Amino acid sequence: MKQHRLIRFCCVALLLICGTARGQILRDHWSHEVTFGGGYCLNEHFSIEFSYFYFPWRYLGVGGYVGMHASGRDRQIPFGPVSSTPDYSSWILTSEHAKVTGLTLTPSLLLTTPAVRVNALAISLRVIPGVTLGLPRERIEVEYREVDADKLVEYSNYKYERYWLKGNQWLSWSGKVALNLSIDELGFGLGYGVSNYDIWNTRRSGNIEGTSFQSFYPTPQALYQYFFLYASWKF
């Protein structure tokens, strides 16, 4: 009788040990990951990104990012004289369109190194190359005024017109390097990235009444740098 109890106890203990070991193995083989984060680009714009990656292999993820970008501060609002009609003397971009925004989709690969463990903390390095798809068109609203746009005086005659701007950049590339810290399914990371995505590209193409928008926005660069943070969850 005592032998039967001992055998039963050993079997239960073995099942518990195996179950714990299996759980630990599963924690090292997450198949899905979602992240939410934000960054700051050195050409003075902020971004918020949501990502999803599927891991067919422990060190390789396939997925991408959906990003929202917005200029970090108000620049001089484009304005100029009106020559097409005598009813108005000047035009100015409305305040609702003073900031530049952009929506992007970035299909990416996620390459990660084996994790270095410090107790429960797993530390790894990630490299994330991707291709960014942006919106090449933007609609703006312009206010036509009866007085000079740069004078702080009252005006009684005005109208609003909407225009579509078309940029020449809808496809760009990006590359990120991130330090990832995680405990089980929860993670946190910070990193550095480079890209040729230009949030000002479409806005620079604007031209109203012979006045180009290019002088109101930053000069285009071949490469933009940014820093970012994110939180992640694996399942």
The string of DSSP letters for 162-206 reads: EEEEE-S-SEEEEEEEEEEEEETTEEEEEEEEEE---TTHHHHT-
Mean pLDDT, range 167-171, rounded to an integer: 88
User: Which stretches of 56-188 are DSSP H helices?
Assistant: none
Q: pLDDT, tens digit, for every residue of 41-50?
A: 987 789 999 9
Residue type at position 225: Q
Whether the predicted pLDDT of 219 surpasses 60: yes
∠ CA 213-215-221, rounded to 5°:
100
Q: Which two tokens stand for residue 133?
A: 């798809």
Q: Domain spanning 31-81+96-138+164-234 has what CATH number?
A: 2.40.160
- Name which residue leads in pLDDT, 27 or 201: 201
Q: Please give the model's pTM, rounded to 2 decimal places.
A: 0.80
What is the Cα–Cα distance from 81 to 90, expressed in whole angstroms?
A: 4
What are the C-alpha distances in Å from 54 to residues 4, 42, 165, 189, 206? Answer: 47, 30, 36, 18, 40
pLDDT value, residue 73: 65
Residue type at position 96: E
Q: In which band, very low, low, confident or very high, does the pLDDT at 23 lie, cut at 50, 70 and 90? A: very low
Domain boundaries, the chain: 1-29, 31-81+96-138+164-234
User: Which residues are paired to 107 by β-bridges?
Assistant: 64
Among residues 45, 58, 163, 172, the alpha carbon closest in space to that of 104 is found at: 172
Residue type at position 141: E
